[in-house]
Structure 1
Amino acid sequence: MRLFDIFVVSASLICIASTQIQLNSVSTALNQFALNFLAETCTQADASLNLALSPYTIWNVMAIINEGARKNTELQLERTLGIPSNRTLREQFRKLQQSLNKQILKNSNGVSLDTLNAVFTRLEKKINPEYQQLIQKLYNVDVTALDFNNAKYATKFINGKLSNVTRGRVDEIVQEGDLTDAQIFVTSALFFKGLWNLKFNISSTKEESFYNDRREVIGTVPMMYNKGLFPLTKVLNDKAFALELPYLDEKMSMIIILPVSTTLQTVVDMLARKSFKTILDDLERSSAIFRNDPVKVYIPRFKIKSDLNLNYVLDRMGIQDVFNSAVADLLGISVDPMHLSRVIHKAEIEVDEDGTVASSISAGEIENKQPPVKIKVNRPFAYFVYDKETQSIVFMGKYSSPV
């Protein structure tokens, strides 16, 4: 049985240096996948592990696979990704998906976003021409045939293409040994750099204690400080605070979700049962009501690198047959029987004073008696980088402990 290797790659640099209704169905599918994916990844990972994830690239690469899946393999992918199985609705969904991708990738002053979807095949491997034409049209996929027998050259070529998109922050994705049995590599890479709309003053950054969910000090972090008109509200039945930090031009924002009196895992699980739009709506209402109330914000400066094998997480989410060589049906890609052997995700995020690049034991302390309100993010929290025009989550993760 031949192997079908998939590598999902994304890197994000965040340096602190009008929703379109017709896209709702696609952004809702992407966001729900993102929240479910974060909840399942947090469940499987160690509680103290920091995570950097790009649901946008993972969702895209699995959608590319789905275009060549058949029967129950296709059904499982559609259910997990939120893609309609009805052919008429599916065609409409595809068109909206193209529009959403174009909207997300529009760069603006202070925000740069670059992606690459690429398929690398063994030189003698025959790909279904209809499948190749479809993924090139829908996902702007580059398809390149390489001599995998010349492992050194092929590895250098693949890694070079992906490293170029991520500005060298994610490299050595493929090892020479990976090419021994592989027939196809399906990859998706992402690079994001955003400058804060209101930068943090580096002279105000100070070392402060960081706590775990049990309110125990587990180390110190460089705590950044800012004061401005930032949307801030309680969400999830008052179990957490949501804070929005916009990037320059306010096309994109980072949202921080900070538990109040429960664990981060509990909050992440609650998020998976909610619509991400409810969080955005709560922030919008708060911004309208308290538009003139400044907020004191304290958040850690941090950098996270993740290198994950996602097979088990995706299996738990309902994508199972595609990993099983006995039942996987990917005959839309090739007449040869294939299955997914690995889904690898590598990502990096850096948040500092330029952008998304009195200590209190109680995180998320909010002083409502008199302005300005204060929020101190000094315990485990989740973060989301999202595109405001399409309301789509592009990058996300959690910060649980100082590195």
Structure 2
Amino acid sequence: MNLVADFLCLLACLTLVTCDRVYVHPFNLFSFNESDCEKLEKLVQEGKTVVPVSIESQTTPEYEGGMNDNELEAPSLSTWGEKERSYLSDLVYVLGMRFYSALQEAQRGQNVLLSPTSLYSSLVSFYLGASNQTALDLQSLLGFVPPSGNPDCTSTAVGSNFLSSLRTIERLVKSGDEELLFSKTLSLFCAPGIALFQLFMEHLLPSADAFNARAVDFANPGEAVKQINAFVEAKGEGQSEALLADMDPSAQLLFAVDTRLAANVKQAFLLKEPQEFWVDSDTKVLVPMLSITGTFRYQTDASGAFSAVEVPLSRTALLVLLQPVGGSDLEHLESQESLQTSAWLQHLAPREIKLKLPALTLEDSSDLQELLADMKMPALLGKGADFSKISNDSLTVGKVINKAFFKLASDGTDQPEDPAAQKEDGMYLDVTLNRPFLFAVFEKQSRAMLFLGRVVNPLHED
């Protein structure tokens, strides 16, 4: 079957997903038994709670502690079969593309960056705290139907398995070469005096490199925004920009995830002079450009509308670049081929390539509440949602922020003699990304999509 047919088939699948299509694949990710349910039910009935300390506290509370990655066993997907890996990565991919489509409309003509794994795990976190219809609605959006049985046990057991599996994927990326740095920070902010269930907190604690839970007086939104931004900046040692611009004073819970990846590409060198990058047919800018020559997996689609090249970032992460060719434009690519997994990872074949692409520093932030509203699901995490497994208090969830940061740079390699000049003409294929393009970063084993981005102007960080 050719690529065009593949694209049409998957577009039909995505259309079905938009209409609340769900998958039925109870693999190991769903494995739990009645004894597990009994243990979970007992913990829920005990109802131990934690009241987060004030954001102004200078001490680290005990509930924010726990094992770091150095104390954990080496991450492994060896217990997963190929179907399990493919299943989870497909769920992440499909939902990530739905969110990308919403951002694409909201940020036309701008750079876009998001982390599909982070967005998915954020929703799984709320699934862990959800009950009744809210749990069922989140389950549908996440794309799976777990085994029948006690629904409270199901959301807790299945949700914790999914969260653990996603974290294993992220830790695999962290275990790669030193040239790649990956980190994830999860922060919860709640109104003073709100008691959060300890079981919920314990599920979230290992899902990120750093976990923070603090109390903030949301009734004074201006001061709350200042306090939260200062807290996040201090915890991130100045790496992260302001988290919030405003907030709803009626909110009682704010959820924020900051996912960051910086890669120094092996054997890539920075060209001595900035190169032209065409933002559109009439506008060009001069940007720092990287060059790397080697054997990379590559394809041009059957219709000649786009090309894709896969570049290893480390032993554990792959960068895939999609750019329009043959007179096609990015908007056409986004509306069709970019929605297809085959465009990213299938039909690629080794090719000797001389690749030039911009050095990148991108940072973007999205609010899941806004994205869900754009997707016609404003009530999913809204005021009527049931999160009785997060707290006995009837919580109003405010913003659910997902920040993503991606940096692509040289590993410091000096510019070598042109290796292409040492070979016969035509031995190397020249691929230059000098106009708007798409990119994605995948974890190598699971093929889970960690980052997805659109580059319209490399000089703009967001």
TM-score above 0.5: yes
Amino acid aligned to 1:35: M
Distance 1:72 1:318 in 2: 17
In the alignment, is residue 186 of structure 1 matched against residue 255 of structure 2?
yes
Distance 2:302 2:368 in 1: 28
Q: Which residue among 360, 367, 371 is the counterpart of 2:427?
A: 371
In the alignment, is residue 99 of structure 1 matched against residue 165 of structure 2?
yes
**Pairwise CA RMSD:** 3.4
Q: 1:347 is matched with which residue? A: 404
Question: Deviation at 1:380?
Answer: 0.8
Distance 1:207 1:142 in 2: 40
Amino acid aligned to 1:36: R
Secondary structure of the residue that 2:252 maps to in structure 1? strand
Distance 1:296 1:140 in 2: 37
Amino acid aligned to 2:240: V
Change in Cα spacing, 1:242 to 1:225, as seen in structure 2 (3 Å) is same
Secondary structure of the residue that 1:66 maps to in structure 2? helix
Q: 1:173 is matched with which residue? A: 243
Q: 1:207 is matched with which residue? A: 274
Distance 1:340 1:121 in 2: 9
Q: Which residue among 83, 90, 94 is the counterpart of 1:32?
A: 94
Question: Deviation at 1:314?
Answer: 2.3
Question: Deviation at 1:242?
Answer: 1.0
Amino acid aligned to 1:372: Y
Q: Which residue among 265, 281, 290 is the counterpart of 1:224?
A: 290
Matches for 1:194-273 after TM superposition, within 5 Å: 194-200=263-269, 202=270, 204-212=271-279, 215-235=281-301, 238-248=304-314, 250-260=315-325, 261-271=327-337, 273=339
Q: Which residue among 288, 295, 298 is the counterpart of 2:353?
A: 295
Change in Cα spacing, 1:102 to 1:239, as seen in structure 2 (3 Å) is same
Higher relative contact order (CA 8 A, sep 6+): 1
Change in Cα spacing, 1:74 to 1:273, as seen in structure 2 (3 Å) is farther
In the alignment, is residue 80 of structure 1 matched against residue 155 of structure 2?
no
The answer to which of 82-91 and 262-271 deviates more is 82-91
- TM-score calculated relative to the size of structure 1: 0.75
Q: Which runs of 5+ in 1 are unaligned?
A: 1-17, 356-368
Matches for 1:123-162 after TM superposition, within 5 Å: 123-136=192-205, 142=211, 144-146=213-215, 148=217, 158-159=228-229, 162=232
Change in Cα spacing, 1:298 to 1:170, as seen in structure 2 (3 Å) is same
The answer to which of 189-198 and 125-134 deviates more is 125-134
Q: 1:116 is matched with which residue? A: 185
Question: Deviation at 1:246?
Answer: 1.2
Change in Cα spacing, 1:277 to 1:159, as seen in structure 2 (3 Å) is farther
Q: 1:392 is matched with which residue? A: 448
Verify the 8 A CA contact 2:324 2:330 in the aligned structure 1. Answer: yes
Q: 1:54 is matched with which residue? A: 115
Distance 1:144 1:93 in 2: 20
Q: Which runs of 5+ in 2 are unaligned?
A: 1-76, 413-424
Change in Cα spacing, 1:212 to 1:187, as seen in structure 2 (3 Å) is closer
Distance 1:209 1:108 in 2: 33
Distance 1:158 1:169 in 2: 15
Change in Cα spacing, 1:238 to 1:38, as seen in structure 2 (3 Å) is farther
Q: 1:315 is matched with which residue? A: 373
Question: Deviation at 1:41?
Answer: 0.9
Question: Deviation at 1:383?
Answer: 1.1
Q: Which residue among 68, 72, 84 is the counterpart of 2:129?
A: 68
Distance 2:229 2:446 in 1: 31
Verify the 8 A CA contact 1:301 1:351 in the aligned structure 2. Answer: yes
Amino acid aligned to 1:192: L
Q: 1:12 is matched with which residue? A: none
Distance 1:329 1:75 in 2: 11
Question: Deviation at 1:158?
Answer: 5.0
Q: 2:417 is matched with which residue? A: none
Q: 1:6 is matched with which residue? A: none
Amino acid aligned to 1:109: D
Change in Cα spacing, 1:272 to 1:236, as seen in structure 2 (3 Å) is farther
Change in Cα spacing, 1:165 to 1:376, as seen in structure 2 (3 Å) is farther
Verify the 8 A CA contact 1:76 1:318 in the aligned structure 2. Answer: no
Question: Deviation at 1:330?
Answer: 2.5
Distance 1:140 1:311 in 2: 24
Verify the 8 A CA contact 1:160 1:171 in the aligned structure 2. Answer: no
Distance 1:146 1:396 in 2: 33
Verify the 8 A CA contact 1:23 1:97 in the aligned structure 2. Answer: no
Per-residue Cα deviation, 1:204-246 (whole angstroms, up to 9, x for no partner)? 3433332246x43433323332211122212485432111121
Q: 2:55 is matched with which residue? A: none
Amino acid aligned to 1:216: D
In the alignment, is residue 334 of structure 1 matched against residue 391 of structure 2?
yes
Verify the 8 A CA contact 2:296 2:309 in the aligned structure 1. Answer: yes
Secondary structure of the residue that 1:322 maps to in structure 2? coil
- TM-score calculated relative to the size of structure 2: 0.67
Amino acid aligned to 1:33: L
Secondary structure of the residue that 1:231 maps to in structure 2? strand
Amino acid aligned to 1:23: R
The answer to which of 149-158 and 336-345 deviates more is 149-158
Verify the 8 A CA contact 1:240 1:259 in the aligned structure 2. Answer: yes
Distance 1:207 1:379 in 2: 14
Change in Cα spacing, 1:108 to 1:310, as seen in structure 2 (3 Å) is same
Distance 1:236 1:337 in 2: 54
Verify the 8 A CA contact 1:321 1:328 in the aligned structure 2. Answer: yes
